[in-house]
Amino acid sequence: MHGLEIRDSRDSDLPAIESLYPRAFPDEDLLPLVRTLLAGEPGILSLVAIGGGPLAGHILFTPGAITGSESRAALLAPLAVAPEWQRQGVGTALIREGLSRLKQDGVAQVYVLGDPAYYGRSGFSQETGVTPPYPLLEEYRDAWQSLSSGSVPPPGQGKLMLPDAWMQPALWGP
């Protein structure tokens, strides 16, 4: 995307990140999760999109493991794009950069719980073999998706295991 810089987030970006989430998700309070992940969860990939002014977007990828598998995995979440930057490819650019970096790091599969129409544009499809940390309501089943990096064989079956910050049932349901 022209004029957009994507880079690792820095400590100095925290105020802008904290300002972004309430604007992107006025009905959800994702800040406690974002703060916890950024405050020292090892292996977190945190990227920001800068568009010549305020923060245009932010994405986090959390490393995880699959029960019964040696394959490396990651969870894409959350992803926030400033309202004035939405529908301009910022989220797609952040996803693309994150996936590229994870592939280079040997991550086999990336998971997301989100809108299938949105994430499908980046290649995600419904995941049926690996389950999320908590059971999903039936209406969210199509929203549980994954994408293979193609670098190593993806895990077949199992459960996605994540750090404690993600082990809250409220993060996986309404």
Element (H, E) at 65: strand 55-66
* CATH code, domain carrying 24: 3.40.630.30
User: Rounded distance, CA 139 to CA 31, Å?
Assistant: 25
Number of domains in the chain: 1
Tell me the longest C-alpha to C-alpha distance in the chain. Answer: 45
User: Whole-structure pTM over 0.85, yes or no?
Assistant: yes
Per-residue pLDDT of the chain (174 residues; tens, 9 = 90+): 567 899 999 999 999 999 999 999 999 899 999 999 999 878 999 999 998 778 999 999 999 999 988 888 999 999 999 999 999 999 999 999 999 999 999 898 999 999 999 999 999 999 988 999 998 888 888 999 999 876 665 667 889 999 999 998 888 876
Domain of 149 in residue numbering reads as: 5-172
